[in-house]
Amino acid sequence: MNCLRLIALSLSLLLVGLVGPIQAQLQMNFYANTCPNAEKIVQDFVSNHVSNAPSLAAALLRMHFHDCFVRGCDGSVLINSTSGNAERDSTPNLTVRGFAFIDAIKTVLEAQCPGIVSCADIIALSSRDAVVFTGGPNWSVPTGRRDGRISNAAEALANIPPPTSNISNLQTLFANQGLDLKDLVLLSGAHTIGVSHCSSFTNRLYNFTGRGGQDPALDSAYAANLKSRKCPSLNDNTTIVEMDPGSRKTFDLSYYQLVLKRRGLFQSDSALTTNPTTLSNINQILKGSVESFFSEFAKSMEKMGRINVKTGSAGVVRRQCAVANS
């Protein structure tokens, strides 16, 4: 019996040794000893550029979201594919911007600390910093993410919520990532900044039923304005439209006000009013202060930033963010 116990103990210790590094946790100031200035380098780079390109905040935030929803927050959205089959080649990512910006930050970090700071952490840090520098909420970004080497277009299409989603699809795709309906409402609040291409919502204007027609859930006056001034045809793939008209550069509550007025740009925005829980969450946000929204948004961002992260001996640190085996 003692021998059996010793064998069992030895096996359990062996297993701990095997899985321990893989289950290592993210932590604040992860690079304090290996690259002490890493977070300041990212922050300074963002600060020096975002004033000239404030739209970067929305672009980087979207990139972070799209990265985390496919294989976790592992920087796989950045990978280029010679066969055109990487995440960035998938329909949801064709309008994602900021790849060159992340590459530029990576170049600076590689010069200071070669092979230390992951591309996944650069996305997480820079998206937070860009939002803060444009007057938006701040949130904690623990670091230590490792990069993935697999990037698949089909997985991006299957996991990133499309703008045509109904509430059932949204709930399922968020739940798959460990996020609940409150997180859905709060993270949708990021639509308070940035723009969209007409192609993401023109079906609501011209072909909602598949046989023509307009989405009845969209305010008719707003729809008429979009048709006459923004997206004159179903096939417009180039024109961009503010997601939060008149307030797209300000991180505030106006997005939620527009959603209740049936003026959310996407079907996925409108869908938030079709579920009693999400509708209640919107009303609660609007009853509170902007500061309260910032605080709750921060919690959901921190939660999202931990989705299926690779740490310890899992994953790698890619020397070039666009190259899988670098």
Residues linked to residue 170 through DSSP beta bridges, in sequence order = none
List, in sequence order, the alpha helices (H) in the chain.
2-19, 38-50, 56-68, 99-112, 119-133, 153-159, 167-175, 181-188, 202-206, 220-225, 254-260, 267-271, 276-287, 290-304
Tell me whether residue 191 is annotated as binding: yes
Tell me whether residue 252 is annotated as binding: yes
SS3 at position 171: helix
Handedness of CA 294, 296, 172, 150 (dihedral sign): positive
Closest CA to 188 of 234, 243, 245: 243
Tell me whether residue 67 is annotated as binding: yes
Tell me whether residue 219 is annotated as binding: no
Catalytic residue among 49, 64, 66, 197: 66
Residue showing tokens 């990021």 = 190
Q: Catalytic annotation on 49?
A: no
Long-range contacts of 171-174 (CB under 8 A, 24+ apart): 171/275, 173/69
Tell me whether residue 74 is annotated as binding: yes
Tell me whether residue 313 is annotated as binding: no
Tell me whether residue 192 is annotated as binding: yes
Tell me whether residue 161 is annotated as binding: yes
Tell me whether residue 127 is annotated as binding: no
Q: Which residues are catalytic?
A: 66
Which residues are known binding-site members?
Answer: 67, 70, 72, 74, 76, 87, 161, 191-192, 244, 252
Which residues are known binding-site members for Ca(2+)?
Answer: 67, 70, 72, 74, 76, 87, 192, 244, 252
